Amino acid sequence: MLETALHYSHYLLDKAVKTGDITIDATVGNGHDTLKLAHLVGSTGRVIGFDIQEQAIQTTLEKVIADGFKSQVDLHLSGHEEIGSLSLEDESVSAVVFNLGYLPRGDKSIVTTPATTLEAIQHSLPLLKKDGVLLIMVYYGHEGGRNEKDAVLSLVETLPQKDYNVLRYGFINQVNSPPFLLAVEKK
C-alpha cells in the first residue's frame, strides 16, 4: 500500500503538471521522466532536458520521436547547471526533476556532483511558479553519493518556510541505501 519514493514522485508530477506547462528534466538519463513530462504537458507544453552523456540524449531522443513527442521536447547535451542560461521568466515552470547518481545501465563512474547539482537547484528555484515542484530523487549508494546527499539536504532544509514546503519521503528500513525523494513546493 505504501508507495516507493519513485512512485510517489510520479504521483506528485501528475498533480503538479498540466497541459501546456513548461517543465525541466535536469537529468535526462534513460528518459523516463522526460517522456512522462512530455505526456503531461502535451503538444502545447514544453520539456527542457539536460544530460552530459551523449548516450542518454541519443537514447531519449529516439524514444521521444517514437512516442510522437518531438514538438514539445528540447534536449541539451550539457550539464544541468546550464538551467541558469535558459531564457525563461521567473515563476514560469511547473516542475523540475532531478535524479542524482549515475545513469542506470550506463557508466557508473559518471555521476552527478555536489557543485553542479547545487548550482542547478539554485537556478531552478526562482523559475518555479506558485504550486510548482522541484523533485529530487536522491540515489546515494555510489562513491561520493553521501557527500552529495548531505550537500543537497543542507540546501533544501534551509529554504524559508514562508516561501517553500520541503518534503522528505522514503523508506528507511531497507539495506543498500534506498533512494528517497525530496520535494520542494513553491508557495
Q: Which triple of cell numbers denotes residue 177? A: 541505501
Q: What 8-state DSSP symbol labels residue 109?
A: T
**Phi and psi at residue 137, to the nearest 5°:** -85, 115
- Please give the grid coordinates belonging to residue 34: 522526460
- Grid cell locating 148: 552529495
Q: Write the CB contacts of 77 (distance below 8 Å, at least 6 apart in sequence).
A: 51, 52, 54, 57
Contact 90, 118 (CB under 8 A): no
Q: What character string, x for contact with its own copies (CB under 8 A) and - otherwise, covers 3-42?
A: ---------x--xx--------------------------
Q: Nearer to its own copies by C-beta: 146 or 168?
A: 168
Cα–chain center distance at 125: 12
**Closest separation in Å from C-beta 54 to its own copies:** 36
Chain-centroid distance of CA 8 in Å reads 14
Between 75 and 100, whose beta carbon lies closer to its own copies? 100
Q: For the window 124-143, what string marks contact with its own copies as x by the rule CB under 8 A?
A: -------x-x----------
Instruction: Return the residues of window 139-178 that contact its own copies according to CB under 8 A.
Output: 153, 156-161, 164-175
Nearer to its own copies among residue 87 and residue 175 (C-beta): 175
- Compare residues 106 and 178 and give the one whose CB is closer to its own copies: 178
Residues in touch with its own copies (CB under 8 A): 1-2, 12, 15-16, 131, 133, 153, 156-161, 164-175, 183, 185
